[in-house]
């Protein structure tokens, strides 16, 4: 059987279609969202997705999060679907993914933005609790791949087995009570992304997000944090500086295998 691959241009086309779906959902549910992290960086530095990025991120205030997720989960999204707290989900945040494909192929992470107290010790404590719950969930959900050799399958099973004593529902309950809804969002001066890889670096003043500005992705405009310069400097320092060319070229030449029919593949790569 002939193998089919999506290149970086194909992935970017899909990501822009997914961003439009999220933007439409925000408008229909009167919800706020912002391009987040590297996706916001791309909108400013490249006026597009970062040329060597193969995913995208948005962040949604927790007061709008469930409404947005509920709406997206109830809609026919064509070749896409919402993945959130399902048996095959591997992360706590929602993801927009390609139907019938691994979430690693192409996805947009829909991160929650939650409120925090002003006390730094309490901020760090919440980040620590969030990390521990997500760590348990992630290792419990270690996936076996068809390409995994026997030794790798054995290791993955041994690692994930001890965490299987924690039911998904219990982990979701802990995460909701101890993290997502621990502090009132509207009264908070600080916010964070409790599911992100940056840890306490995700803790920033809520006013940086504000009412939002506009960032350009290809020929489309999407919401970005109001104080985008402080936001990007906080995350990346000299955010106009690009990584070394070797890394760029390596990612730009990336190809990801598509598992499905030729007809499904054609739907994915069409403009």
Alpha-carbon distance of 23 to 56, in angstroms, equals 13
DSSP 3-25: -EEEEHHHHHHHHHHHHHHHHHH
- Residues contacting residue 120 through CB under 8 Å, at least 6 positions apart: none
Q: What 3-state DSSP class applies to 86?
A: coil
User: What's residue 254's pLDDT?
Assistant: 73
The helix or strand, by DSSP H or E, that contains position 97, with its residue range, turns out to be: strand 94-98
User: What's residue 164's pLDDT?
Assistant: 78
Structure tokens at 32: 């706020």
Alpha-carbon distance of 22 to 96, in angstroms, equals 9
User: What's residue 4's pLDDT?
Assistant: 83
User: What's residue 142's pLDDT?
Assistant: 72
User: Nearest to residue 148, comparing CAs of 157, 136, 159?
Assistant: 157
Cβ atoms of 136 and 175 closer than 8 Å: no
User: What's residue 221's pLDDT?
Assistant: 97
Mean pLDDT by 10 residues, the chain (271 residues): 79 94 97 97 95 93 96 94 89 92 89 97 96 91 62 66 83 96 96 94 97 94 97 94 72 75 76 70
Chain centroid, CA 52 distance in Å:
17
The helix or strand, by DSSP H or E, that contains position 159, with its residue range, turns out to be: helix 150-160
What are the distances in angstroms from CA 209 to CA 50, 73, 100, 177? Answer: 21, 26, 35, 24
User: Nearest to residue 194, comparing CAs of 86, 61, 38?
Assistant: 61
Helices (H) and strands (E) in the chain, counts: 9, 11
Alpha-carbon distance of 62 to 122, in angstroms, equals 19
């Amino acid at each position: 059987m002939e193998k089919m691959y999506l290149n970086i241009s194909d992935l970017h086309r899909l990501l822009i279609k997914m961003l439009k779906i999220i933007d439409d959902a925000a408008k229909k549910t009167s919800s706020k969202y912002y391009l987040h992290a590297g996706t916001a960086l791309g909108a400013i530095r490249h006026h597009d997705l970062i040329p060597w990025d193969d995913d995208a991120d948005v962040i949604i205030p927790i007061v709008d999060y469930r409404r947005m997720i509920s709406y997206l989960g109830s809609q026919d999204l064509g070749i896409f679907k919402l993945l959130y707290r399902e048996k095959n989900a591997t992360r706590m945040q929602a993801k927009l993914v390609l139907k019938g494909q691994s979430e690693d192929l192409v996805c947009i992470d829909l991160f929650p933005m939650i409120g925090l107290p002003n006390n730094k010790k309490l901020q760090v404590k919440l980040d620590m609790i969030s990390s521990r719950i997500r760590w348990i969930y992630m290792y419990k959900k270690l996936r076996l791949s068809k390409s995994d050799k026997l030794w790798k399958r054995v290791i993955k099973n041994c690692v994930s087995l001890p965490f299987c004593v924690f039911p998904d529902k219990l982990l979701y309950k802990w995460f909701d009570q101890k993290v997502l809804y621990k502090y009132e969002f509207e009264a908070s001066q600080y916010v964070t992304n409790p599911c992100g890889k940056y840890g306490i670096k995700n803790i920033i003043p809520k006013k940086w997000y504000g009412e939002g500005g506009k960032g350009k992705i290809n020929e489309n405009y999407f919401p970005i944090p109001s104080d985008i310069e402080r936001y990007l400097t906080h995350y990346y320092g000299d955010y106009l500086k690009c990584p070394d060319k070797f890394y760029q070229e390596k990612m730009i030449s990336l190809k990801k295998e598509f598992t499905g029919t030729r007809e499904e593949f054609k739907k994915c790569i069409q403009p």
